Amino acid sequence: MDNRQVAARVEELLARMTLEEKAAQMVQIPYPFVGREESLRWAKMGAGSFLHVLGDEAREVQRVAIEESRLGIPVIFGIDAIHGHGLNDHATIFPTQLAAACSWNPDVAYAMGEVTAREVATDGLHWTFSPVLCLGRDTRWGRVNETFGEDPYLAGEMGAAIIKGYQGEDLSDDERILACAKHYIGYGEAVGARDSCDTEMTYRKLREVFLPPFKKAVDAGVASIMTAYGSIDGLPFTIDPISLKDILRGELGFDGFVVTDWDNVNSLVRRQHVCETAEEASVLAANAGNDMIMTSTEFYQAVLNAVRGGQVKEEVLDDAVRHILTIKLRMNLFEKPEKKGRPGCFGCEEHLEKAKDAADRSIVLLSNNGVLPLRGVKKVAVIGPNADDIRAQYGDWTYFTHPRLNMEHEPIRPYVTVKEGVENLCAARSVECVYHRGCSVLDGEYEDIAGAVETARDADAIVLVVGDVIPQVGEEKDRAVLELSGRQMELFDALRALGVPVVTVLVASKPLAVGRAATQADAFVCAFNGGMFGGEAVAKAVFGEINPSGRLPISFPRASGQVPVYYNHLPGWHCQAGKGYCDLAAGPLYAFGEGMGYSPFVYSDLAFDRETFKASVKVTNAGERPGTETVQAYFNDVVSSVITPVRQLIAFKQATLAPGESAVVEFALSREDFSLINRKEQRVTEPGEFVLMIGHSSRDEDLLKTSFRL
Ligand code: BGC
């Protein structure tokens, strides 16, 4: 069906729908919460969508919707398939978005999207609530793991790629599903990182920092957008017509449908206290431009009353239903209500290979005094609470880690923890490998530091795996203290005292304030939540089977109190202007863009043509192993009408080079890349002086610079 045929079919259907059917089409039912009977009743009434229901239960809902509702409009099933179709036991689990963002490689994001879509579609489902395009700037926030990190440019590139992976070229493709860019907008900017209603935001800031990834998502054709829990200047985003209508539809040209987040309509009454009744909340939500209402089923009756009472025009419902039906028709749902997917694809070789590749590329080596890659060792000790904890390695949103879902399940193979990965590689090299947990991540669960020390005493190297665990991760799990919890630091100190080289590995949902566990270790490896093969990737990096190429998409704080500590801050931010807090060294412990491999890269010959906006730089692999460098381009507007960031990423490219090999890496930039949002909220490039900086990371000393005037 072409666009004209779709539009005609939508109008024809709309004309036949009663007011009740329109209201029902706008409601999304949480199956596990309302139960089977109630769900089937909603299906008969013509509810537009259901979430968190799989398999035969979903099939039954669909059958009832098609056969027993008056118009037989098929429902769409949505699920949180966030880093793989994780709520299905047999799915391929990828690194979290944050870990995947360490690859700085949109092809990795595309592959995650493609594989996840195929597995979700094979379950007969249509829609994932992914990607998260919020930024992880205040890392106390529990959901940092779901973001692509702190930077709008990188998040936008990775986001657009995963969306294309989910959706493909054609929404009717049996192996593709709808994506949902969320949470629109600024959710991560919750004050004090306290999830979730109060956000420090202005429209100018929104446009400058938080909108760019959503613009890329819309340009990539994202079919749906989810609103955020937060607020702007006292107005919850769910009822903000400026961001939802003027900006999203008007300026960005979004043509999919908008879904609220979980129970947002009721939250207007119960949590945000801007409405007295569900009816009042429903009026505001409908009029602001929400098309589908997640879980607040009160909306149905409330909006009917409101239309009858004249507070909401029926055309508002028409518009919402039009957006939903257009997507349903573009998906060809009426002909094929159930996606076929690719039977047998769960955990198939191709999918597992892609998860392995993503895990390998997400390993970030942050320090190394030469101990890595391990050579000539006879005995390796793997120690630490996260060395053999697959739950911690998976992170949030899988079938056995998400608290709202089914925690009871046991993890299903294949997966490889760090302990198993190191054991396997040791076995292949006839190296002895010993393991001890040492302590738990949370206080008081388990502790045998002395035992761990004994185990490691005569080893030639220690791989110590620290981090966080599920009770510290996710929604409503914001942390005030980012330092290593429990007795993990004591464990490090005790091992350090042995005099055996210590490689510290972080398996965690976000940058923790790792302190001396990193700086006093012989090497520090950041793995975040690497998914099924995260542990294997760590082992491969440790033994040099891969040359680590990950770069940080997010800054590491020196202490909790230094957060937020993102790189693209405004000038005058004392903690990075060289002075820092009076009781802490300045700048992050590890900076955005940072990461090393076993080959150093040397930069030279930065050139920029101010007429064509072409930039180039020469990069040389000065090491002895082939390696991949991520060449990063930043700019600064030296004097601007509003305060602009000390630097902002505008492009990056990867180059894989043989030892001694050089390449000239070119960037086709544009005038708009050097723009800002002015006080009138317009995106403009102001005349004056600019600095273009290209190099290895966001650190000043890693960048070559050239100034020019526009
Ligand atoms: C989260 C969303 C998620 C939704 C459905 C909400 O609480 O904020 O990200 O998609 O629940 O599970």
Cα torsion at 386, 389, 392, 394 (round to 10°)?
Answer: 130
Task: Indicate which atom in ligand 1 lies nearest the CA of residue 78.
Answer: 5
- Which protein residue's CA is at the shortest distance from atom 4 of ligand 1? 262
Burial class (CB in 10 A: 0-12, 13-18, 19+), 505: buried
- 261 as an active site residue: the answer is yes
> Could you report the per-residue pLDDT of 672-702, keeping only the tens digit for each?
999 999 999 999 999 999 999 999 999 999 9
Q: Is the pLDDT of residue 607 over 90?
A: yes
Phi, psi of 378 (to 5 degrees): -105, -25
Residue of 261, 398, 406 best suited for mutating to test ligand 1, as the one with most atoms within 8 Å of CB:
261
Q: Is pLDDT at 408 greater than 80 in this prediction?
A: no
Out of 125, 199, 259, 262, give the residue to mutate to test ligand 1, the one with the largest number of ligand atoms within 8 Å of its CB: 262
Mutate to test the pocket of ligand 1, among 28, 80, 237, 263 (most ligand atoms within 8 A of CB): 80
- Ligand 1 atom at minimal distance to the Cα of residue 52: 12
| Pocket lined around ligand 1, Cβ cut-off 6 Å | 80, 129, 182, 261-262, 475
For ligand 1, the distance from its centroid to the CA atom of residue 279, given in whole angstroms, is 23
Q: Could you give the percent of the chain with pLDDT greater than 90?
A: 94
Nearest CA to ligand 1 atom 5: 262
- pLDDT beyond 80 at 184: yes
Give the distance, in angstroms, between the CA of residue 599 and the centroid of all CA atoms in the same chain.
Answer: 29
pTM of the model: 0.98
pLDDT in tens, 194-209: 987 788 899 999 999 9
The token duo for 106 is: 């949109």
pLDDT, mean of residues 575-591: 82
Rounded to the nearest angstrom, the distance between the alpha carbon of 52 and the centre of ligand 1 is 11
For residue 184, give the DSSP letter.
Answer: E
Mean pLDDT calculated for residue range 205-217: 98
What pLDDT was estimated at residue 500? 98
**Closest ligand 1 atom to Cα of 180:** 10
Instruction: Tell me which of 123, 261, 360, 388 is the catalytic residue.
Output: 261
pLDDT higher than 70, residue 574:
no
Q: Which atom of ligand 1 is nearest to the CA of 229?
A: 8
Per-residue pLDDT tens over the stretch 231-276: 999 999 999 999 999 999 999 999 999 999 999 999 999 999 999 9
CA of 46 to the centre of ligand 1 (A): 23
Ligand 1 center to 121 CA (angstroms): 20
Mean pLDDT to the nearest integer, 508-514: 98
Nearest residue (CA) to ligand 1, atom 2: 261
| Dihedral class, residue 275 (left if φ above 0, else alpha if ψ from -120 to 50, else beta) | beta
- When mean pLDDT is compared across 307-311, 484-488, 574-578, the lowest value belongs to 574-578
pLDDT (tens digit, 9 = 90+) per residue, 130-160?
A: 999 999 999 999 999 999 999 999 999 999 9
Residue 652 to residues 6, 104, 702, 706: CA-CA distances in angstroms?
A: 39, 8, 14, 17
State the pLDDT at residue 272.
Answer: 94
Residue 87's pLDDT is: 86
Tens digit of pLDDT for each residue in 1-50? 899 999 999 999 999 999 999 999 999 999 999 999 999 999 999 999 99
Among protein residues, the one whose CA lies closest to atom 6 of ligand 1: 262
Rounded to the nearest angstrom, the distance between the alpha carbon of 218 and the centre of ligand 1 is 20
Predicted local confidence at residue 577, as pLDDT: 53
- Pick from 212, 220, 182: nearest CA to 82: 182
- Tokens of residue 646, six digits: 């000390």
For residue 398, what are its two tokens?
A: 């899988």
| Residue 35, Cβ density class (10 Å: 0-12 exposed, 13-18 middle, ≥19 buried) | exposed
pLDDT digits (tens, 9 = 90+) for 272-304: 999 999 999 999 999 999 999 999 999 999 999
- For residue 107, the CA-to-ligand 1 centroid distance in Å is 26
Mean pLDDT (the chain) is 96
Q: How remote is the CA of residue 607 from the centroid of ligand 1, in Å?
A: 46
Q: pLDDT at residue 578 above 70?
A: no
438: nearest Cα among 390, 384, 382: 384
Residues 61-114: tens digit of each pLDDT: 999 999 999 999 999 999 999 999 998 889 999 999 999 999 999 999 999 999
| Distance set, CA 326 to CA 9, 58, 323, 583 (Å) | 9, 22, 5, 57
| pLDDT tens digits, one per residue of 344-393 | 999 999 999 999 999 999 999 999 999 999 999 999 999 999 999 999 99
Atom of ligand 1 nearest to the CA of 196: 8
Residue with the nearest Cα to atom 12 of ligand 1? 80
